[in-house]
């Protein structure tokens, strides 16, 4: 009778301990959320550092246009209320060719990629055609026509910009005469003679521009061609259009786009405002810093419950099979060490390569828990087994975060294998106690 009571008590103790271990795992997983908030905070500080450098060098740049604008007024309006409006025309062809020279700048512990872009822009406009623009009863001021170029951050302009317009040279001046198309830009007078025999107006200019990380273009031409090359080996081609051709290697990249007017939701001419449609068709290149330690730290911490749960599971099996009583405080201390791993990873990765930060943080955590396990288990083999399992877990998580495309597949297979191992190992545990035989016996 005494033996039966002892067995029942033992079974109850095992069940109770398992529930406690699960609760503690969930509790410690929730404790990882402050670290997630810390990652977001550090990422925000980095963005502030990038913005500070960008504000002095030149921020992300978007080049839009050029656009030819012709002012007009309505005839059928109240006297003395001559409100000037604008008709806008896009070029028949637009060609942009240039080189992006990237540089790395530092602000504290953070690296910021900036660039200088030297661009050659040329193309031609057709004689403005007001057909279809409902210009009846409107006074058109041909002599006041001008071209405008949208530049998102004018502080990045490094040299005066001279434009060759139909064989005549003029200088771009700061500001735009209306905000129909851009919020920021430059403009120059464009002589348009509707009575001239030629209906073509060629233009060309050079642009020396500083910016940070991103350089975008608007496909303003009926046919737009953009060709860029750079010594930066980690670009991202984004926006509304992907390149037609690109060559990427360790020395940099060369890329070109060809975009037709039919590819964008923007006509060749319009009256009034069209900002939203213009911005929707932006495309270009982003100069990436190869390793984003905050993104990788965030992906790593998502596996906290896996690491904590499986580590506790090993402790639980040792306690169940070897009759070693492990106090909840000891579980808590081991769990705290597992959580500190993420804090170490975050802080070290801000100063070293993420891979080295992961190795250093992982080894420190594994050694700490292995040495502590020797004190708990009183068994060197079990302690080394615990260290080996932790090393396998950290290696598994590292492989997953490096293989983003296959992360779900590898994670699913890994969890299945772990579940199978747990089912196999736990088959001999007598969960019921007295009067019941273990199914695995």
DSSP for 373-401, please give it. HHHHHS-HHHHHHHHHHHHHHHHHHHHHH
Residues 6+ apart with CB under 8 A from 440: 427, 428, 429
Residue 131 to residue 197: CA distance in whole angstroms: 19
**Residues 6+ away with beta carbon under 8 Å from 316:** 17, 18, 21
* Lowest mean pLDDT segment, chosen from 259-263, 284-288, 436-440: 436-440
Average pLDDT (410-436) is 66
Instruction: Choose between 426 and 57: higher pLDDT.
Output: 57
Which element (helix H / strand E) includes 307?
Answer: helix 304-322
**Contact present, 125 and 256 (Cβ < 8 Å):** no
Q: Is the bond preceding residue 66 a cis peptide, omega within 30 degrees?
A: yes
pTM of the model: 0.70
How far is it, in rounded angstroms, from Cα 127 to Cα 427? Answer: 85
DSSP letters, 117-171, are EEEEEEEEEEPP--TTS--TTEEE-GGG-EEEEEES-GGGB-S--EEEETTEEEE
According to the model, what pLDDT value does residue 80 have? 53
Direct distance between the N- and C-terminal alpha carbons of the chain, in angstroms, rounded to an integer? 22
Q: Tell me how far apart the alpha carbons of residues 385 and 154 are, in angstroms, rounded to a whole number.
A: 62
Three-state DSSP class for residue 245? strand
Residue 45 CB partners (closer than 8 Å, separation 6+): 110
SS3 state of residue 178: coil
Torsion, Cα of 316, 322, 327, 332 (10° steps): -40
97 pLDDT exceeds 90? yes
- The position carrying tokens 């550092």 is 49
Helix/strand/coil for 64: strand
Q: How far apart are CA 297 and CA 304, in angstroms?
A: 11
Looking at beta carbons, which pairs linking 347-356 to residues 24 or more positions away fall under 8 Å? 349/293, 349/296, 349/297, 350/42, 350/109, 350/293, 351/109, 353/291, 354/291, 354/293, 354/296, 354/297
Bridge pairing between strands 162-165 and 168-171: antiparallel
d(CA 397, CA 418): 13
Whether residue 164 contacts residue 203, with contact meaning beta carbons closer than 8 Å, is answered with: yes
pLDDT tier, 429 (very low <50, low <70, confident <90, very high otherwise): low
Please give the structure tokens belonging to residue 2: 């005494």
Query: What is the model's pLDDT at position 224?
Result: 92
pLDDT digits (tens, 9 = 90+) for 59-84: 888 888 798 888 887 765 555 556 78
Question: Residue 211, SS3?
Answer: strand
Residue 153, both tokens: 């951050």
Q: How far apart are CA 161 and CA 382, in angstroms?
A: 74
- Residue written as tokens 């735009």? 176
pLDDT at 349: 82
User: Model confidence over 336-353: pLDDT tens digits?
Assistant: 888 888 888 888 887 888
**SS3 for 250?**
coil
- For β-strands 146-151 and 61-74, DSSP reports them as antiparallel
Proportion of the chain above pLDDT 70, given as a percent: 83
Domain locations along the chain: 2-31+294-428, 59-290
Q: In the structure encoding, which two tokens stand for residue 286, read together?
A: 């982003």
- At 204-241, the pLDDT tens digits run 999 999 988 889 998 988 999 999 998 888 888 888 88
Structure confidence at residue 257 (pLDDT):
92
Mean of the per-residue pLDDT values for the chain? 79
Pick from 359, 316, 311: nearest CA to 336: 311
Q: Which of 184, 199, 42, 211 is nearest to 118 (CA)?
A: 211
Distances (CA, A) of 426 to 287, 321, 383, 412, 437: 52, 9, 19, 21, 14
Do 58 and 212 contact (CB within 8 A), yes or no? yes
151-207 pLDDT, tens per residue?
A: 888 888 888 889 888 888 888 888 887 777 788 888 888 888 766 656 788 999 999
Are 166 and 191 in contact by the 8 Å Cβ rule? The answer is yes
Beta bridge partners of 391: none
More confident: 198 or 377: 377
Q: Write the pLDDT tens digit of every residue in 119-162.
A: 999 998 888 877 766 655 567 787 888 888 988 888 888 888 89
């Amino acid at each position: 009778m005494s033996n039966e009571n002892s067995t029942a008590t033992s079974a109850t103790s095992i069940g109770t301990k398992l529930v406690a271990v699960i609760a503690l795992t969930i509790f410690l997983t929730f404790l990882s959320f402050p670290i997630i908030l810390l990652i977001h905070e550090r990422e925000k500080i980095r963005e502030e550092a990038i913005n500070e450098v960008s504000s002095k060098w030149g921020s992300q740049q978007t080049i839009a246009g050029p656009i030819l604008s012709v002012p007009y007024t309505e005839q059928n309006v109240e006297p003395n209320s001559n409100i000037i409006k604008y008709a806008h025309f896009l070029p028949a062809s637009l060609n942009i060719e240039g080189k992006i020279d990237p540089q790395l700048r530092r602000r504290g512990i953070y690296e910021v990629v900036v660039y200088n872009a030297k661009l050659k822009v040329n193309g031609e406009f057709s004689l403005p055609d007001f057909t279809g623009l409902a210009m009846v009863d409107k006074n058109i001021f041909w002599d006041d026509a001008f071209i405008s170029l949208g530049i998102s951050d004018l502080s990045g302009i490094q040299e005066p910009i001279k434009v060759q317009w139909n064989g005549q040279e003029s200088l771009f001046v700061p500001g735009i005469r209306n905000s129909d198309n851009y919020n920021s830009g430059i403009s120059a007078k464009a002589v348009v003679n509707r009575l001239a025999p030629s209906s073509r107006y060629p233009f060309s200019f050079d642009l020396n521009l500083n910016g940070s990380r991103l350089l975008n273009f608007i496909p303003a031409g009926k046919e737009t061609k953009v060709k860029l090359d750079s010594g930066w080996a980690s670009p991202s081609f984004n926006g509304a259009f992907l390149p037609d051709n690109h060559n990427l290697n360790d020395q940099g990249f060369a890329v070109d786009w060809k975009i037709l007017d039919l590819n964008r939701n923007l006509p060749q001419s319009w009256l009034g405002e069209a900002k939203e449609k213009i911005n929707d068709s932006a495309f270009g290149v982003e100069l990436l810093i190869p390793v984003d330690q905050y993104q990788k730290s965030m992906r790593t911490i998502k596996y906290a419950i896996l690491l904590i749960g499986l580590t506790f599971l090993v402790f639980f099996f040792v306690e169940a099979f070897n009759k070693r009583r492990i106090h909840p405080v000891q579980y808590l201390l081991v769990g705290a060490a597992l959580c500190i791993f993420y804090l170490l990873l975050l802080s070290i990765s801000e100063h070293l390569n993420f891979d080295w930060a992961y190795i250093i943080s992982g080894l420190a955590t594994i050694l700490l828990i292995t040495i502590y396990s020797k004190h708990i288990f009183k068994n060197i083999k079990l302690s080394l087994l615990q260290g080996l399992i932790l090393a396998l877990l950290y290696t598994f998580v590292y492989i997953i975060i490096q293989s983003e495309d296959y992360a779900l597949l590898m994670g699913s297979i890994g969890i299945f294998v772990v579940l199978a191992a747990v089912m196999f190992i736990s088959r001999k545990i007598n969960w019921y106690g007295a009067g019941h035989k273990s199914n695995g016996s």
